[in-house]
């Protein structure tokens, strides 16, 4: 038995050891993860074990009283050790759900967050179902935004731009995974911000780095790609400010910009947006936690 579980499940010497069940495995793993500082120890344990067993998390609960599968213990123990060291669950299982899409993720790309799902939802609400585009996802990473827009707007042409060749490999794999890899509606472009775009677009959508690197959580900084986290400068706004300066030359008349931003960056970024678009409508949309999250420019 793995060392992680020996002390947690040691039976009293005076009694025969009770059969260990899947619920015991989950309890032991969650206890270890909680002690190591995971904010979601039970969720982490559930997701890791479900992945090892080839089950959905909901299915796992139908098997809580089943004997734990000894053949899977080594694989589960290996994942648990990596999670105890701080490695993100999404990297351990190799995928992450985003706006209904199961996306491949690894250390080449940032793990998509719920806040970015809100950005996608807001953009889709602004795009008619018959929209043809083109729209550009700047800093596409895993392709999350680009793929969600293409999936939910069947006529939309989408560009996914990124400075990282490795990230674009992941984005292409995700496009193939969802049947969008061979369509002319979706193109992946290598380059800085919007510079590789071959034409003007009706919309620029981006979740660019908006953090101050020294303030990023240690586990995130240790495991997720620095290129996707750094570059915001000492206030987290440098890259977004650069895109806003480029944006007038990238947009078609009547186009829009939708940017995910830090909750405390509105007053810092609005002047850049106003300078780039002095006659546009500017607004900031709040997220589900009632914090500023999406900077909109409507020309």
Q: Check pLDDT > 60 for residue 16.
A: no
9 pLDDT tier (thresholds 50, 70, 90): very low
Radius of gyration of the chain (CA): 22
CA dihedral 194, 197, 199, 204 (to 10 degrees): -40
CA distance 98 to 131: 22
pLDDT tens-digit readout, 61-78? 888 898 888 888 889 999
Mean pLDDT of 49-63: 89
pLDDT tens-digit readout, 185-194? 999 999 999 9
pTM above the 0.85 mark? Answer: yes
pLDDT given for residue 77 in this prediction: 92
pLDDT given for residue 220 in this prediction: 87
Cross-strand pairs, 296? 258, 283
Burial class of residue 290 (count of CB atoms within 10 Å of its CB; 0-12, 13-18, 19+): exposed
């Amino acid at each position: 038995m793995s060392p992680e579980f020996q002390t947690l499940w040691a039976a009293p010497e005076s009694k025969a050891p009770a059969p260990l069940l899947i619920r015991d495995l989950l309890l032991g793993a969650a206890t270890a993860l909680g002690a190591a500082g995971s904010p979601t120890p039970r969720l982490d344990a559930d997701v890791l074990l479900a992945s090892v067993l080839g089950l959905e998390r909901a299915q796992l609960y139908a098997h809580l009283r089943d004997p734990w599968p000894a053949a899977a213990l080594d694989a589960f123990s290996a994942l648990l050790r990596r999670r105890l060291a701080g490695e993100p669950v999404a990297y351990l299982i190799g995928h992450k759900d985003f706006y209904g899409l199961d996306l491949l993720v690894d250390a080449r790309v940032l793990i998509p967050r719920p806040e970015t799902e809100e950005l996608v939802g807001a953009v889709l609400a602004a795009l008619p179902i018959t929209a043809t585009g083109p729209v550009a996802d700047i800093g596409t990473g895993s392709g999350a935004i680009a793929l969600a827009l293409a999936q939910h707007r069947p006529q939309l042409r989408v560009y996914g731009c990124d400075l990282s060749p490795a990230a674009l490999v992941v984005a292409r794999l995700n496009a193939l995974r969802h049947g969008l890899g061979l369509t002319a509606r979706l193109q992946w472009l290598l380059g800085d911000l919007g510079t590789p775009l071959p034409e003007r677009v009706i919309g620029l959508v981006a979740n660019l780095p908006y953090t101050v690197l020294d303030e990023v959580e240690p586990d995130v900084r240790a495991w997720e790609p620095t290129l996707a986290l750094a570059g915001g400068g000492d206030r987290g706004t440098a890259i977004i400010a650069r895109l806003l300066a480029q944006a007038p030359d990238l947009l078609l008349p009547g186009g829009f910009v939708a940017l995910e931003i830090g909750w405390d960056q509105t007053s810092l970024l609005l002047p850049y947006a106003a300078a780039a678009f002095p006659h546009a409508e500017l607004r900031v949309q709040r997220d589900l936690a009632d914090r500023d999250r999406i900077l909109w420019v409507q020309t």
